Structure 1
Amino acid sequence: MKKLATLAAVMSLTAGAAFAGGYEAPVVEAEPMVVEEAGTTNAGLVVPALLLLGVIAAASSDS
């Protein structure tokens, strides 16, 4: 009976240490998104300008 009581006392002390501090949910920190702005180049004008140059080159080669 003394061994059983000693075992129970040891188990209760170690169980208390195992749960010390309680449960804390993990915190996931999101990294901020970095948006790089384009320089002074306006890509919306480049494609129409190239098309216009192509039409001009095609028209001048026909004459």
Structure 2
Amino acid sequence: MKKLVIAATAASAIASAAQAGALVDPIVEPVVIVEEATTSSSAGILIPILLILLLGVALAGGGESSSSSAG
């Protein structure tokens, strides 16, 4: 009888140890990917276009003031 109890205890210990890890999903940490922010390509061309436009407006509108002051 003692041998039967020892065998049953050993069998249940081995069976529970074998199934202990199978019921829980493994914990996997997510991989963090850091991506640097990139500037848009349109921002680099916007400032020169505005400067050319401003220069064009200044050249087109600035010719009249010198002839009206002489008089």
Q: Same fold (TM over 0.5)?
A: no
TM-score by length of 2: 0.36
Q: Which has the larger radius of gyration?
A: 2
